[in-house]
Amino acid sequence: MKLKVGIIGCGGIAKGKHMPSLAALDTVEMVAFCDIVEERAVEAKEKFGTAEAKAYTDYKELIADSSIDVIHVCTPNKSHSVITIDALEADKHVMCEKPMAKTTEEAKAMVEAAERTGKKLTIGYQNRFREDSQYLNEVCGNNELGDIYFAKAHAIRRRAVPTWGVFLNEEEQGGGPLIDIGTHALDLTLWLMDNYKPKYVVGNVYHKLSDKENAANAFGSWDPKEFNVEDSAFGFVTMENGATIVLESSWALNTLDVGEAKTTLCGTEGGADMRDGLRINGEAYSRLYEKKIALGADGVDFYEGTEDTPEVAEARQWIDSIINDTEPLVKPEQALVVTQILEAIYESAKTKKPVFFE
């Protein structure tokens, strides 16, 4: 018997990630699709749905269907919390796309709803499922880097401002590159460090390039009048155990040092980074060494591999956790800490003061 899945929000992230990934699994079927634009819901239903699948414009009608087991929330950030909580309380398991929520208060309410209802909740941080991330997590889990006391979370684009949808709308999204792509880099870094206890945060947020007319941009020039979120943001995070994390994020920054959803880790026994493939560095026999880790089918001609993409691996692990009643890899309590730190960076930038955690 297959789990029945409903998709709420049939825009870019649903079409590009969630629906194709679920379609690759033989353990689910997509039976309901909802979007405030009816044509998008109908289009998704026709492409990914079963013969009996339904299309909705009101998500409350969709979650009222008692036959649906799982909901994927793929809407703008503003509605993540309310839709997720309503779905959990309607007896559904929920995968919510990142970031968990706009605010810590909303994210806490989501965690409490999952605990109250006993339903599973996870957040869409698919970069944990990349091969380099999985390998590095094993390295860290075996304590090969020792005590990781300094890290950098990288989410830097030179010019790739998303000009579609509501990405530039602060009310809908809660922010710009920090909450959009910085969230991936921070999640990856915290997970690899296995450290979820921040002490205080100092942050700076910039609106330096967003007012430029006809700017060069990978997705076409933006309208400065609509660009009301930051174009770059940076945070300095001190953890309770004294570890330091530097978080850097931008959609537009005059730099050639680019890369997103990557991390650099520095420990007492060794270090690692993802800046040029996956590299491990350390000391052995009174000499320094560095090694580049071969991933995939490097050196094998005509072999494309059989591993899932990170997106499919994420969907597979999530659905398997429901079927087998195990924990999803991305726990809501972990995603809550990501939201807490992101909100603290925005707050610190606004007040020009450090933000301390309880």
| Per-residue pLDDT reduced to its tens digit, 249-281 | 999 999 999 999 999 999 999 999 998 899 999
Establish if 209 belongs to a structural domain: yes
pTM of the predicted model as reported, rounded to 2 decimal places: 0.95
> For residue range 308-331, what is the model confidence (pLDDT) as tens digits?
899 999 999 999 999 999 999 999
Band the pLDDT of 92: cuts 50, 70, 90.
Answer: very high
* Average pLDDT estimate for 92-97: 98
Question: Smallest Cα–Cα separation from 186: which of 78, 100, 311, 120?
Answer: 100
Establish if 238 belongs to a structural domain: yes
Q: Is pLDDT at 300 greater than 70 in this prediction? A: no
DSSP per-residue codes, 40-78:
HHHHHHHHHEEEEEEEES-HHHHHT-TT--EEEE-S-GG
How many domains would you assign to the chain? 2
My answer on whether 94 and 138 are in the same domain is no
Interhelix angle 80-89/104-117, rounded to 10 degrees, is: 10
Give me 29's structure tokens: 């079927």
CATH value at residue 92: 3.40.50.720
Establish if 119 belongs to a structural domain: yes
* 3-state class percentages of the chain: helix first, strand second, coil last, to nearest 5: 35, 25, 40
Structural domain for 37, as ranges: 3-124
Question: Smallest Cα–Cα separation from 98: which of 73, 125, 122?
Answer: 125
Amino acid at 194: D
My answer on whether 140 and 288 are in the same domain is yes
How far is Cα 82 from Cα 64, in angstroms, rounded to an integer?
15
Establish if 54 belongs to a structural domain: yes
Establish if 236 belongs to a structural domain: yes
- Mean pLDDT value across the chain: 96
Contact indicator for 122, 95 with CB cutoff of 8 Å: yes
Give me 136's structure tokens: 């590095």
C-beta atoms surrounding 252 within 10 Å: 25
